C-alpha cells in the first residue's frame, strides 16, 4: 500500500483533553499492610491524552492540526498546553476555565504491567467556556479539510450539534468518536466511530441512520464499516498487545487523514488497522508516524 503524503491535510480536532500520567517502577515485594504489590516508583512520565492524543497522531502523520478544547487553570492544564504547544504541526486553542479541574488519569506501572489507574476529575467545564471554545472552533472550520470531534463525556462537546451544523454548511466532514447511548447529538456527522461495546449500548439503533457511516472497532476482531450502500470488514493485524490505551485515537487519526487525502474506505481501514497493530504493542498513549507506517 502507498501511504499518502499528508502534509497538505489540515485537521481540526475538537473535544475533551486530558493528561495521562504514568508512574513506572519495580515490584519486588508484597505489602505487609495488605495483600498488594509495592511499586518502587523510579520514573514519572506525562503524555497528552483524549482529543490531544488524536491531534498528536494526526500531526505525527504529517498533517497540520488545530486543537480546540477547555482546560482548567491548574498544573495539569498548563502541562497539557506545553505538551501540545511544543508539538510540531499542532496549534492549540484552549479556553481556560478556572473553576474546572483538568482531567488526569494516573496509571501505576510495575514491571511493565498496569497495577491500577486513578482518575482525577470533578466538574464539567462551565457553559460559558464551552460556548467560547465552540465559537472559536466554528471560526476555524473554514481553515480545515476535516473535523474530528473526540467525545470523552467530560463536557467540552456540549455544543457538538452546533459544530456539526456549521461544518456541514461549510462542506467539511465531521468524524466523531462517540460517548454515551444517545447519538442524536451527532446527527449529520459523516462518520461515527464507536467500539463494539459502545455500539451494543446504543439506546436507539435508528440514530445510526442520522450519520453518514458507522466504523466499529472490535479489538482483535478488527473493524467494520457500514453505510447506506456498503459494508466492509477489516481484519486486525495481530501483534503482541502491551496496552490498548489510545488505539482508538490512532484509528480515528489515520482514517480521517486518509479520507481527507481522498483515499477510499478500504485503504483507509487497512492502514488504520496496521497503525493500531503497532500502537497496541506500546505502553500507554502513543502516536505513530508516517515513516513507521511506510516501514510496516
- Give the percent of the chain with pLDDT over 70: 95
pLDDT band at residue 241 under the 50/70/90 scheme: low
Highest mean pLDDT among 2-6, 70-74, 281-285: 70-74
Give all domains of the chain, ordered by start, each with its CATH number.
10-18+52-101+126-295 (3.40.1190.20)
pLDDT at 243 over 60: no
**Over residues 247-258, mean pLDDT:** 94
Contact by Cβ (8 Å): 96, 77:
yes
Q: What pLDDT score was predicted for residue 41? A: 95
In angstroms, rounded to a whole number, what is the distance separating the alpha carbons of residues 3 and 288? 13
Q: Which of 95, 97, 207, 249 is catalytic?
A: 249
Closest C-alpha to 161, from 108, 207, 97: 207
pLDDT band at residue 288 under the 50/70/90 scheme: confident
Average confidence score pLDDT of the chain: 92
In angstroms, rounded to a whole number, what is the distance separating the alpha carbons of residues 141 and 14? 11
Express each pLDDT in 147-202 by its tens digit.
999 999 999 999 999 999 999 999 999 999 999 999 999 999 999 999 999 999 88
Pick the more confident residue, 284 or 250: 250
Please confirm, yes or no, whether 249 is among the known catalytic residues.
Answer: yes
Q: What pLDDT score was predicted for residue 281? A: 67
Q: Is 161 helix (H, G, I), strand (E, B) or coil?
A: helix
Q: What pLDDT score was predicted for residue 283? A: 67
Contact by Cβ (8 Å): 57, 290:
no
Closest C-alpha to 141, from 10, 7, 8: 10
Which residues neighbour 199 within 8 Å (Cβ) at sequence distance 6 or greater? 214, 216
**Over residues 207-211, mean pLDDT:** 88
Query: Which residue, chain included where needed, has cell 486518509?
Result: 258
In angstroms, rounded to a whole number, what is the distance separating the alpha carbons of residues 176 and 163? 11
Express each pLDDT in 13-72 by its tens digit.
999 999 999 999 999 899 999 999 999 999 999 999 999 999 999 999 999 999 999 999
Order of all β-strands in the sheet with 223-227: 90-97, 64-72, 10-15, 146-150, 174-177, 191-192, 213-217, 223-227, 231-234
* Cα separation values, 295 from 74, 251, 277, Å: 40, 18, 13
Amino acid at each position: 500500500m502507498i501511504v499518502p503524503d499528508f502534509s497538505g491535510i489540515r485537521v481540526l480536532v475538537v473535544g475533551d483533553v486530558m493528561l495521562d500520567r504514568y508512574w513506572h517502577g519495580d515490584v519486588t515485594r508484597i505489602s505487609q499492610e495488605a495483600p498488594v504489590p509495592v511499586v518502587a516508583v523510579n520514573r514519572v512520565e506525562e503524555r497528552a491524552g483524549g482529543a490531544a492524543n488524536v491531534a498528536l497522531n494526526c500531526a505525527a502523520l504529517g498533517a497540520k492540526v488545530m486543537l480546540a478544547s477547555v482546560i482548567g487553570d491548574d498544573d495539569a492544564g498548563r502541562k497539557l498546553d506545553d505538551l501540545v504547544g511544543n508539538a510540531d504541526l499542532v496549534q492549540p486553542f484552549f479556553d481556560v476555565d478556572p473553576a474546572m479541574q483538568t482531567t488526569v488519569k494516573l496509571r501505576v506501572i510495575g514491571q511493565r504491567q498496569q497495577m491500577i489507574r486513578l482518575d482525577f476529575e470533578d466538574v464539567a467545564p462551565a457553559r460559558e467556556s464551552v460556548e467560547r471554545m465552540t465559537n472559536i472552533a466554528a471560526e476555524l472550520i473554514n481553515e480545515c479539510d476535516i473535523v474530528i470531534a473526540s467525545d470523552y463525556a467530560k463536557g467540552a462537546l456540549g455544543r457538538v450539534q452546533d459544530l456539526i451544523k456549521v461544518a456541514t454548511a461549510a462542506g467539511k466532514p465531521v468524524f466523531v468518536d462517540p460517548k454515551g447511548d444517545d447519538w442524536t447529538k451527532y446527527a449529520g456527522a459523516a462518520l461515527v466511530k464507536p467500539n463494539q461495546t459502545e455500539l451494543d449500548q446504543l439506546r436507539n439503533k435508528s440514530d445510526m441512520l442520522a450519520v453518514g457511516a458507522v466504523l466499529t472497532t472490535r479489538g482483535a476482531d478488527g473493524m467494520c464499516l457500514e453505510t447506506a450502500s456498503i459494508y466492509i470488514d477489516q481484519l486486525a493485524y495481530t501483534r503482541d498487545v502491551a496496552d490498548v490505551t489510545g488505539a482508538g485515537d490512532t484509528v480515528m487519526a489515520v482514517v480521517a487523514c486518509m479520507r481527507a487525502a481522498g483515499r477510499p474506505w478500504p485503504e483507509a481501514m487497512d492502514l488504520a488497522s496496521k497503525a493500531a497493530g503497532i500502537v497496541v504493542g506500546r505502553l500507554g498513549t502513543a502516536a505513530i508516524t508516517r515513516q513507521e507506517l511506510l516501514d510496516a
